[in-house]
A and B are shown apart, each in its own frame.
Chain A
Amino acid sequence: MRNHPKTIAWCIIMTLCAIGAVANEPAEPVDPGKRVVVSERIIGGDTATTSASQPERAGLVAVRDAETGELRAPTASEWQELASTFDVLNRSDQGLVERTYSDGSVGVRLEGRFQSVSMINRSSSASGEDVVEATCTHSADTVVAKLASTEAAAESQDDDETEAAHDH
């Protein structure tokens, strides 16, 4: 059962130090008449791998529990939600595999990194207008900041709502 994000404030402290995270992949089968891989190298020279359950990032990630106000390690389900976002926003080339082909061309599979992410915020302004802000970002920091700010606002404005969400 996934813990709903309303149960926590997404107060995230991150040191985004990407580590090599791409499993070595075999070269593509040679297709006569097409490009042939003549060399492969792991960018950054780090051949470390990570388990599938961990995000491809290193550093400290903590969440602040809205109920206790204390920092704690994210639960597995919280990791799952955050990691799925952080992975796509990773803009490091470290650990990716660069393939050089017989015709001199070069290709790199981005392994799900360098994605853009659309976010939305629905709220009411102080003037009473319905405010819907849908933005596109490539930054994990932006995602964290938006989630943290809206959670903090929700806490201060409506404790009852937050409490109700704890049961989700």
Chain B
Amino acid sequence: MRVLGLDIGSRSVDAVWVEDGRIVDWAVADSGFDPGSAAAVFVDRGAHDAIVSTGYGRHGARERFGGTAVTEITAYGVGAARLFPHASSVLDIGGQDTKVISLGPGGKVTDFEMNDKCAAGTGKFLEVMARALGFTLEEMAEQGIAASTGVSISSMCTVFAESEVTGLVHRGEDRSRIARGLHESIAKRTLGSLKRVRAQGPLVFAGGVAKNPAMVALISEGFAGEVLVPAEAQIVGAYGAALSFER
């Protein structure tokens, strides 16, 4: 029995093929303007017996490809708990959502929090800020780690923060210190969410933003427990979706 887990997010479409709980293959594509067609490429491979979709586009995918759908919250909880059976909580920072999840015994979700309608502190925020600073995302993370202190950024709103960053650049502030300040402000906000759901360690940090070394460093520094980052942080949701099939 081979299950295809699809995580159709705002920035990427992730696919994981799972057999007997093990990942046999995986792939990632840009969502672009037509995430359904990006997902169709994976479905058309025909290498599955069942499909479970998650993410922003889960209902559309279920209608188009059949199968079932679960929310990202459940999918990330299940996926993270399978990768790290001793995990107590999950942090997923994706393209436009941030989720913090507390796990009970067996990886069951006991509490969660998700950002509301705005994309404050998500991957989208980092993208916009990198552009404002003239960095790639990778460069911005490297610079953020390299700077010893950060400039304090007060706005969490993507639009306001962009103006704030532009203002700092014009005042001649060091770009590396701004880069560090931006990562610090997201980390601070995220750590606040983790506290609100009473997240305990070990914490699994997943989602696209977990590939950002500056964010991993700051979260690890600020969180009271152990922080674990999966080798392929981006596909945890798709993996969890596929595993949800058994349930």
A-B complex is real: no
